[in-house]
Amino acid sequence: MAILVIKDLTKRFGGLQALSKINLEIEKGSIHSIIGPNGAGKTTLFNCITGFYVPDEGDIIFDGRNIAGLPTDQIVRRGIARTYQNIRLFKNMTAIENILVGMHPHLRSGIIGGILRDPRTRKEEQEALQEARRLLQLVNLQGRGDTLAKNLPYGEQRRLEIARALASRPKLLLLDEPTAGMNPKETLEMMNFIRNLRDTLGITIVLIEHQMRMVMGISERITVLDFGEKIAEGTPKEIQSNPRVIEAYLGRGAASGLGVQAQPAA
């Protein structure tokens, strides 16, 4: 069963066709990677799914409901969380506060509760704090909770960002280059961590990744984008041997031997 179905999704920026007629199905409980050269539209796709951009055409059906064009904050409430390619934590808030912000959709207290701190609010805050600490441990950041996010080392910031995304209890987690800037050992740890997330929490995971070893090792399905178009989809094995993918990565004509073709107008 597909948790996310994307139909004919198109997004333009002025004359630039960032995404054209993308069709995509993400199976529930799978780890699905999206790859492609720089500027292929991977992050744009994430931005459309999370409501950061309003798509020009097409539908995004999540859990049976069309979410295309909904505001960002509504989409996360339905169960989609994400991380960012260039880490975007709340830098001047502590790690645990970052996670607490991530839990926002599940908390109820408003301005009155905040001022009066009635028993219900206090209970809610206590439980939220407990869960936040649990999440800190899950990403192996125990003891760092009261550090300002900006003072954490790079790898810890990446993990904190994932913890923050998990705090919204997503059904679908979008990870934008979670291993960017990591060494092979850290990458391997991250891979195991992501797989573990899926296995223990049952979250569907969509990855944007550049490190092929990671992509091939972890994904059940891979979609390849190039210049805003889907050029291939399949299992890691199928993708590895797909001539169009090789062409996209190694340059026009490298696979087909037809020489350099004109690039589509940008």
Q: Residues interacting with other proteins, by CB under 8 A?
A: 13-14, 50, 52, 54-58, 68-73, 76-77, 81-82, 84, 88-97, 100-102, 104-105, 107, 109-111, 113-117, 121, 125, 129, 132-133, 136, 142-148, 151, 164, 168
Q: For other proteins, which is the closer residue by CB, 18 or 197?
A: 18
In this structure, are residues 186 and 178 in contact, taking their beta carbons and an 8 Å threshold?
Answer: no
d(CA 98, CA 82): 14
Give the distance from CA 180 to its chain's centroid: 13
Nearest to 119 by CA among 132, 107, 109: 109
Buried/exposed code over 174-204 (b: 16+ C-beta within 10 A; e: otherwise): bbbbbbbebeeeebebbbeebeebbeeeebb
d(CA 228, CA 41): 5
d(CA 64, CA 33): 22
Q: For other proteins, which is the closer residue by CB, 70 or 231?
A: 70
Q: What residues does 11 pair with on adjacent strands?
A: 19
Residue 20: other Cβ atoms inside 10 A: 19
